[in-house]
Amino acid sequence: MTTRFIKRKKEASNIYSYYFIKPTNFKYIAGQYLELSLNHQNPDKRGIKRWYTLSSSPEEEYLSITTKHTKDGSSFKKALFDIKKDQQIKISECYGDFVLPKDKHKHLVFLVGGIGITPVLSILKTLKMSNDQGYIIDIIYLLSNLDELVDLSPYHDFINKLTIIDTSKLNSLYSSKELIKYLNDHHILNYLIYLSGPEKMIDTLTNDLIANKIDKNKIISDYFEGYNQV
């Protein structure tokens, strides 16, 4: 199906949201992703298609994605940054199980790295729009550059606890052992754990959580390709 670009909004340093017309009868659940196709000249080897988790709420008028731009970005990212108002693009239907559980009695922790905040934005927006404060949500937000911090203050009433960790001060890229220790010390390993961020981060943390005898059914993940750090 096709949609049209409406506007771009800067969220933080190098972080931008792109808004598109929501097609008639387009359905999705907060936290899900879709494939976006953007034709452009001289595409690099990664081509003209990318998977994006929606940062918008299903209750909003528009669809939005939120992404990071860098100087050495792909041809797709450069074309996206230069997209014109009303330009048409193709999108797929939505997929994914990075969604809230039906059981509101579960304590949830979202462990997100960098642009992995995207599905959490969709979920928080949805909770705010429905004024649903039934979930107990903790967020651990990992960033290697605090200038890229996306403002979560509008959703303060829907977050039980927000912890921001500057990973540039940790001993290794993801300091998995330190994070596991933090989770254990704060009894977070007993919660339903949502992991969202660069693919390497998700693989490392998933393996370490399972090694620490965490039931894999208590781990829900959404990984982002093309990012080497949080």
Write down the pLDDT at residue 230: 59
Q: What is the mean pLDDT of the chain?
A: 90
Under-50 pLDDT residues of the chain = 173
| 3-state SS, residue 163 | strand
CA–CA distances in Å: residue 52 to residues 33, 149, 193, 224:
5, 19, 21, 8
Structure tokens, 155: 């959703």
pLDDT 10s digits, 147-178: 999 999 999 999 999 999 888 876 554 556 77
Q: What angle do CA 80, 86, 88 make, to 5 degrees?
A: 65
Write down the pLDDT at residue 214: 84
Q: What is the pTM of this model?
A: 0.92
Q: What domains can be seen in the chain, in order of their start residue?
A: 2-91 (2.40.30.10), 107-224 (3.40.50.80)
Nearest residue to 38 (alpha-carbon basis) of 85, 86, 73, 88? 88
